[in-house]
Chains A and B, each alone.
Chain A
């Protein structure tokens, strides 16, 4: 199964080069096993993936995956308490960086979840609730959380979309969505009552609201693309 997706093709680096380390940031927010195993499935020969909460390991990684689930306040609290906020921000400024779900949301300035939480402020924008009063008409008859397989319209050509058809479905589960100020960040959108931003990308950062590690073939393809991406958009 997943034919053609499995790694072991050494295309990421030339033979003889040193092992390349991918770190999945562990800050106590949910299960990282699936992310780790999915990446393991698509690694190139000279790559290695590791779950880590160690700032030095994150800082020295070649690629960083920043997942997350749960509530925004716990997320920020855990990051700050573990002293990982700055090292995550630094990684997002300099190396191939993949945010997943809550790991995308906290890249923004602020979230409305839990009565308001200040986030990492890498990008200007607000994380908003589908259940917000202002969306009552659009969300009528729609269940929250937005849970299941929905289509992602690709809004930028990007190396991480390689071999993934525009409009492919990915697995989502969330009650909040990102509202970025700079439209240039938008790399994918999805419709659920409203059209919301489901993927942002800039320079070495790609971040998705959906879970590639739970999105079967296309999700693995995206992770494979990330493992082979040099961080240039």
Chain B
């Protein structure tokens, strides 16, 4: 009898279409965010995250319509990230039907934006996304387990010099209601979350932490909770390519004693 850990499928949306090839045999249009969201809801997804990767700012408005269409038909929490830079952006997303917005780069360049946004719409709507890489004592990326991580921007290419744990604490002080933590070392590798990073951040902050980056199998999801201490796990490709269904993942995690909504 407790709060369930969450599984959150993440969809990349480019100019209104789901990209990175969602592959479901029984879906008519795998590029249609509404169809894909419905499918994930039916499989038992606890939330859905949309990441807007639309390059041109002229086309940014399309994500608002995506959120509207999905929110009209899918009744689970929706988070939207990508290109959120102003309180007005935040409001537009919430008004369209998003429950939370994820703020990433804009928080790095202007931390007060997080404070302003959470003051206006409430902390519960503000997720701060943290992209972290393991670094050595000089702040250079390293594969060695140093127990030290730095915040990076631009898909992990640009170092900020900011310690990831300190940054997470600061963002919570500024009003983040949740942390979406991505290991840029693991993103796309399918070798599992950076569990040491996940544990370090999860222990450091009072708000829920979503682990992201590196999921390749169901044990990785379970480890994110059991070893990393994550409150939720986010994954993209293992669900998109129908390697595993979300229901299957939940059964697997529940069998390891993790509280799940089945």
- A residues within 8 Å of B by Cβ? 1-2, 30-31, 33-34, 37-38, 41, 69-71, 143-151, 153, 167, 169, 171-175, 191-192, 213-216, 219-220
Contacts and interface: CB of A to CB of B under 8 A. Distances in A.
B75 A149 contact: no
A169 to B, nearest CB: 5
A210 to B, nearest CB: 11
B207 A145 contact: yes
Interface of B: 1-6, 38, 41-42, 46, 68, 71-73, 75-77, 94-97, 99, 121-125, 177-178, 206-209, 231-232, 261
B175 to A, nearest CB: 12
Contacts of A150: 2-4
Contact of A148 (B3, B41, B42): B3
A192 B207 CA distance: 14
Overall SS of chain A's interface: mixed
A137 B42 CA distance: 38
Nearest to A174: B124
B208 A143 contact: yes
Nearest to B97: A33
A141 to B, nearest CB: 9
Interface centre among A1, A172, A219, A220 (most CB of B within 10 A): A1
Contacts of A147: 124, 177-178, 208, 231
A1 B95 contact: no
Contacts of A148: 3-6, 46, 208, 231-232
Contacts of B76: 171, 214-216
Given A37-B72, A149-B46, A171-B77, A143 B4 contact: no
Given A145-B123, A148-B5, A149-B4, 14 more contacts: A31-B95, A34-B97, A37-B73, A37-B97, A69-B122, A69-B125, A143-B206, A149-B3, A173-B99, A214-B77, A215-B75, A216-B41, A216-B76, A220-B75
A214 B46 contact: no
B75 A143 contact: no
B117 to A, nearest CB: 13
Contact of A34 (B4, B38, B71, B121): B71
B123 A33 contact: no
Nearest to A220: B75
